[in-house]
């Protein structure tokens, strides 16, 4: 018996949602970012891969062999993987765009009996199977790549098996960081969005920014993207040399902001009305940075779409660079973000709490304040910049060096445990009342305005990144820093001097510090001398 498969174009009809549990099946293949590739080179490579890719919904019992055989008829497949998100999906990357074109040419329009379909074709497809299925077709199920983090209880168990706090921090980062597949999926969703926006703006691109690409993203983080219309912005236009030339007639608006709002309003409408898999579309046009927010169901991503957000791309590039300068940067940022989430200092809901972006800047500032510093201040990176690095966006100087090899780092050999402990100590005594955190200078500055927490935006220097934070949230942050520093220090205290024996767990201590079995480097060294490894376990 032959199981015939053919592809059906997904349309924005009311899709039936089958809730499936995202299982952590498949080998855990979290990869460290390979080599110091510039962010722009990384974006170009991933965007190009995404253009050659399609997203296909399929039955979890689909035969992978037959699936690939069918698709190979349309072109060479370079890479593919399966994942679960409200159903099983496959990301398939063809070697050339011809493969995608051939597959789309063969795709049929679904026949819907009780509803009407919006006739918008996209690269989001469904695999249809027809014909009888014999016993040999009863596959064990597709191997799905995880797109969400392991449950916290499971993570605690894994951390408990680690010997040192440094190992726990590495393990935590491994478990939480974006996987290669998740990164590809993010770019594919941007590429699918670009297809919608391209109906109006054929030259546009949709680029991810923020934690999806800055190296600090956690599985499940939102997908920040912006519609890049730079090629049709009128900026950097060369004056024609000939005496006669033509120019486009274009509609005028009162301000750049008004243009952004009208573009987002129209694109938001298109996403809502025509975008297959896009649900819960909200247009938030009166925000300081207008955006369209929606859920992309096939990927499970919460998406924020903005327009021409070039300063945010620059700050993404800066964080990316800092993250690659020293491996401890990313490891510490992951630990602090995880610690903050576990204590509900951060939330996925906007409010008066500190954001992950603010926390990241706080970690960077702390690392600039080490002696010797682990990373240099932004002003130093600006001094190293060459003419090609010069960048001024809306009057903001966003210039900094892009060539990693020009950056000389000082020798600092502090362990992650030391740094984590000192991070908590540093912020438990930081003079938040008077001083502002400034990564451009690498030194605290007098606060220019009244706000409980003042973190200068590295590029839009008149802005406070943490303007939203109220004093009670800041007080909680400081109190938890104090408590976590204390917990970490108890690990080396001898019994009877207040050493804590009950596992404080993720609710009260830092995960990497407050996990059963985790020992500090110092205590591990002491144990080697005494042979009492288990006796000295703190928890
Ligand atoms: N951003 C900014 N100023 C802010 C907030 C955000 O410049 N006050 C920029 C930063 O480049 C940030 C990006 O917008 O990385 C996305 O913001 P957000 O989604 O809040 O932060 P992420 O870094 O993406 O972190 P998360 O994982 O929480 O989404
Ligand atoms: Mg984000």
Range with lowest mean pLDDT among 97-101, 156-160, 229-233: 229-233
- Mean pLDDT computed over 21-48: 63
Q: How far apart are CA 483 and CA 477, in angstroms?
A: 10
By the 10 Å C-beta count (0-12 exposed, 13-18 middle, 19+ buried), 67 is classed as buried
The residue whose CA is least distant from atom 8 of ligand 1 is: 465
> What is the DSSP code (8-state) at residue 455?
B
Q: What is the 3-state secondary structure (H, E, C) of 35-58?
A: CCCCHHHHHHHHHHHHHCEEEEEE
Q: Is the pLDDT of residue 21 over 90?
A: no
Q: Is the pLDDT of residue 212 over 50?
A: yes
Alpha helices in 385-470 (DSSP H): 416-428
Task: Please report, for residues 53, 78, 315, 450, the alpha-carbon distance to residue 75 in angstroms, rounded to integers and kept in the order given.
Answer: 11, 9, 39, 61
Which ligand is nearest the CA of 355, by number?
A: 1
Residue 143: what pLDDT? 86
367-385: pLDDT as tens digits:
999 999 999 999 999 999 9
Residue 81: what pLDDT? 96
113-147: pLDDT as tens digits:
778 888 899 999 999 887 654 445 555 678 888 88
Angle at 46 between CA 283 and CA 21, to 5 degrees: 65
Q: State the chain's mean pLDDT as an integer.
A: 85
Q: How far apart are CA 417 and CA 461, in angstroms?
A: 32
Q: Is residue 270 lining ligand 1, measured as CB closer than 6 Å?
A: no
Give the tokens for residue 295. Answer: 């859920």
Q: Is the pLDDT of residue 441 over 60?
A: yes
Atom of ligand 1 nearest to the CA of 348: 28
Q: Is residue 455 lining ligand 1, measured as CB closer than 6 Å?
A: no
Residue 148: what pLDDT? 83
Q: Is the pLDDT of residue 284 over 90?
A: yes
Atom of ligand 1 nearest to the CA of 222: 29
**Residue from 39, 217, 223, 224 to probe ligand 1 pocket by mutation (most atoms less than 8 Å from CB):** 224
Q: How far apart are CA 413 and CA 429, in angstroms?
A: 24
Q: How far apart are CA 405 and CA 331, in angstroms?
A: 22
Residue 495: what pLDDT? 55
Q: Is residue 358 lining ligand 1, measured as CB closer than 6 Å?
A: no
Residue 225: what pLDDT? 98
Tell how far the Cα of 103 is from the centroid of ligand 2, in angstroms: 33
User: pTM higher than 0.90, yes or no?
Assistant: no
Q: Is residue 459 lining ligand 1, measured as CB closer than 6 Å?
A: no
Q: Is residue 356 lining ligand 1, measured as CB closer than 6 Å?
A: yes
**Residue from 210, 216, 284, 393 to probe ligand 1 pocket by mutation (most atoms less than 8 Å from CB):** 210
Tell how far the Cα of 177 is from the centroid of ligand 2, in angstroms: 14
Q: Is the pLDDT of residue 442 over 90?
A: yes
Tell how far the Cα of 329 is from the centroid of ligand 1, in angstroms: 17
Q: Is residue 215 lining ligand 1, measured as CB closer than 6 Å?
A: no
Which ligand is nearest the CA of 217, by number?
A: 1
232-257: pLDDT as tens digits:
776 667 777 888 889 889 999 999 99
Per cent of the chain over pLDDT 90 is 69
ipTM above 0.95, yes or no: yes
- Bridge partners (DSSP) of residue 44 are none
Q: How far apart are CA 136 and CA 461, in angstroms?
A: 64
220 dihedral zone (left: phi>0; alpha: psi -120 to 50; beta)? left
Task: Please report, for residues 7, 188, 233, 270, 296, the alpha-carbon distance to residue 12 in angstroms, rounded to integers and kept in the order given.
Answer: 16, 18, 31, 11, 12
- Model confidence at 538, pLDDT cuts 50, 70, 90, reads very low
65-96: pLDDT as tens digits:
999 999 999 999 999 999 998 899 999 999 99
Q: Is residue 211 lining ligand 1, measured as CB closer than 6 Å?
A: yes
Residue among 38, 332, 371, 393 nearest 173 (CA): 332
Q: How far apart are CA 428 and CA 442, in angstroms?
A: 19
Q: Is the pLDDT of residue 33 over 50?
A: no
């Amino acid at each position: 018996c032959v199981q015939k498969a053919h592809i059906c174009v997904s349309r924005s009809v009311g899709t039936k949602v089958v809730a499936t549990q995202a299982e952590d099946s498949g080998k855990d293949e979290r990869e460290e970012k390979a080599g110091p590739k510039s962010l722009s080179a990384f974006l170009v490579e991933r965007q190009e891969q995404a253009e050659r890719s399609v997203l296909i919904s399929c039955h979890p019992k689909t035969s992978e062999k037959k699936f690939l055989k069918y698709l190979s008829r349309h072109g060479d497949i370079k890479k593919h993987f399966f994942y679960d998100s409200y159903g099983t999906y496959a990301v398939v990357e063809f070697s050339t765009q011809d493969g995608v074109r051939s597959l789309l040419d063969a795709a049929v329009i679904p026949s819907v009996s009780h509803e009407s379909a919006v006739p918008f074709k996209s690269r989001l497809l469904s695999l249809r199977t027809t014909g009888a299925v014999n016993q040999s077709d009863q596959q064990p199920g597709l191997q799905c790549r995880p797109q969400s983090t392991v449950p916290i209880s499971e993570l605690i168990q894994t951390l408990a098996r680690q010997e040192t706090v440094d190992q726990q921090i590495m393990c935590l980062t491994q478990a939480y960081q974006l996987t290669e597949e998740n990164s590809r999926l993010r770019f594919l969703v941007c590429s699918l969005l670009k297809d919608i926006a391209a109906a109006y703006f054929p030259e546009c691109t949709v680029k991810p920014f923020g934690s999806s690409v800055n190296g600090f993203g956690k599985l499940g983080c939102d997908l920040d993207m912006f519609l890049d219309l730079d090629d049709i912005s009128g900026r950097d236009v060369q004056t024609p040399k000939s005496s006669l030339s033509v120019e486009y007639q274009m509609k005028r608006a009162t301000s750049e902001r008004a243009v952004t709002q009208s573009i987002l309003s129209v694109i938001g409408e298109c996403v809502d009305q025509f975008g297959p898999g896009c649900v819960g579309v909200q247009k938030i046009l009166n925000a300081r940075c207008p955006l369209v927010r929606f859920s992309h169901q096939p990927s499970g991503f919460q998406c924020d779409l903005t327009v021409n957000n070039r300063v945010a791309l620059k700050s993404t590039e800066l964080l990316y660079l800092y993250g690659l300068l020293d491996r401890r940067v990313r490891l510490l940022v992951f630990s602090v973000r995880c610690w903050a989430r576990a204590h509900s200092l951060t939330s996925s809901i906007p409010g008066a709490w500190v954001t992950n972006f603010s926390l990241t800047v706080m970690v960077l500032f702390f690392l600039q304040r080490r002696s010797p510093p682990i990373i240099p201040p932004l002003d130093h990176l600006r001094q190293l910049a060459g003419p090609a690095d010069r960048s001024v966006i809306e009057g903001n100087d966003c210039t900094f060096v892009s060539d990693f090899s020009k950056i000389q780092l000082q020798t600092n050999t502090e362990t992650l445990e030391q740094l984590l402990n000192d991070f908590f100590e540093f912020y438990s005594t930081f003079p938040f009342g008077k001083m502002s955190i400034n990564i451009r200078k690498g030194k605290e500055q007098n606060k220019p305005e009244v706000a409980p927490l003042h973190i200068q935006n590295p590029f839009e220097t008149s802005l406070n990144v943490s303007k939203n934070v109220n004093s009670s949230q800041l007080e909680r942050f400081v109190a938890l820093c104090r408590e976590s520093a204390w917990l970490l220090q108890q690990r080396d205290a001898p019994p009877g001097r207040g050493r804590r024996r009950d596992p404080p767990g993720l609710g009260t201590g830092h995960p990497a510090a407050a996990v059963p079995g985790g020992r500090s480097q110092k205590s591990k060294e002491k144990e080697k001398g005494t042979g009492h490894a288990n006796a000295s376990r703190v928890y």
